[in-house]
Amino acid sequence: MAQVTRKIGLSLGADICWPICFEHILRRLELEIPWQGDQVRFEVDRVTIEPFDLRQRCEYDVVIDRLTHWFDTSREWIKKAVLMDDLYVFNNPWSLQSMEKHTSYCAMMRLGLPVPDTWMVPPKEYAESADLEPTLRRYAEMFDLGQVGQRLGFPMFMKPYDGGAWIGVSKIESDGQLRTAYEQSGQRVMHLQKAVEPYDLFVRCLGVGPQINIIRYDPGSPLHERYKVDFNFADGDEWSLLTDMALTINSFFGWDFNSSEALRHDGGFQLIDFANACPDSQVTSLHYHFPWLVKAKIRWAVFCAVTKRPMRMNLDWQPFFEIADKDLPFRERLAEYSSIARQRFDADRFTDFCEEHLAHLDQVAFDFFGRGHHQVRHFIGDDDNVRQMLRNGLALLVRFRLDAVHQLFFTQLIVDADVPHAGPRQQ
């Protein structure tokens, strides 16, 4: 039996916490997986940024990418490696570059998923160009923003059509607020989206491959308190519905790692934001939920590396559209969408693989994060890298309540290290 090594690359920016945990836990797993006559071992390396020959061979089997959505050099290297070297990467770089929130809204409306009414308005200001004046003079129609507001209805949200991280988002309660927000929007192309009110539940659905974790979320809280530690907030049918919608979105766009936001209103859920590929992964935000994310990334990366999972470079939307055109109740259509998603994520094979080869991951992760305060402190004291990780990560939140962040870490992070989030959780 030949010894082979699969190499996992981490393409990182300002990430502090999860890469160190990923590296340490993977090393502690001591994996040697028998696969098709070989014994597969693993190495993890951090991808560097440097000049590259387009014909240069890529040494990685899988790359977890945290830069494509904003750093051009790394994105173009990844594209090259996918095209020329059969690299598998989370996420699809072409999709991530081109599928902004506007496209995601239109696509999911086409599939019949519940998305609030949304308008796009031309920008208030334009960058100067030689063709700007004749283009606007010939084709730009004068419009009354107030009439748009009346047709959509208040309250609403104004937000960039391609935005993220809550930048440029404002809640609009009246015609006057609408006009003021538009005057201040500058060159941004903005959406106006009908507010979902009242709602009694806000959730974020984190997805890594076929793994979905549904978390109650409060965007109005400080950063370290937005992801809530809560249980029994959704019943089994709701959990299944949210899971199927998240899988549908992620597989449709080729996003292995994404988060979707939904609000529960009048007994149903409305999807308000689901183009968040490469979402926040820091312990300072996720706290209790952080171990789940680290383990989910390890499982999916190892599975993709061992099985030499091929990269789906063409998104192939037609099967989804054929289902959308059927005269079916929404839940039946969604079940068919999610069936495609599970097939594309190889969900059954992934589950079997994890049960056979990664059954000890929960215990290794639990031992890594610690079973109690003294063990966490002992673990931090023994490892300079992890101690620095926590110091740097927590320093990001000095402007919030640092004592509260410490409390979250020591009382919540360690509790969750061995909790398998497969459905509605019990207290």
Average of per-residue pLDDT values in the chain: 89
Quick: pLDDT tens for 88-122: 999 999 998 888 899 999 999 999 999 999 999 99
Yes or no: say if 37 and 3 are a contact pair by the CB < 8 Å rule: no
Provide mean pLDDT across the span 306-314: 94
Structure confidence at residue 373 (pLDDT): 40
Quick: pLDDT tens for 146-163: 999 999 999 999 999 887
Quick: pLDDT tens for 355-381: 999 999 999 999 998 754 444 444 444
Q: Residue 385: pLDDT above 60?
A: no
Structure confidence at residue 339 (pLDDT): 98
pTM: 0.89
Structure confidence at residue 280 (pLDDT): 87
Question: Higher model confidence: residue 325 or residue 98?
Answer: 325
Q: Residue 405: pLDDT above 80?
A: no
Domains of the chain: 2-98 (3.40.50), 120-152+168-190 (no CATH), 201-292+317-416 (no CATH)
Provide mean pLDDT across the span 330-353: 98
* Most confident region among 75-89, 222-236, 375-389 by mean pLDDT: 75-89
Structure confidence at residue 400 (pLDDT): 44
Provide mean pLDDT across the span 244-269: 97
Structure confidence at residue 220 (pLDDT): 87
Q: Residue 407: pLDDT above 60?
A: no
Q: Residue 426: pLDDT above 50?
A: no
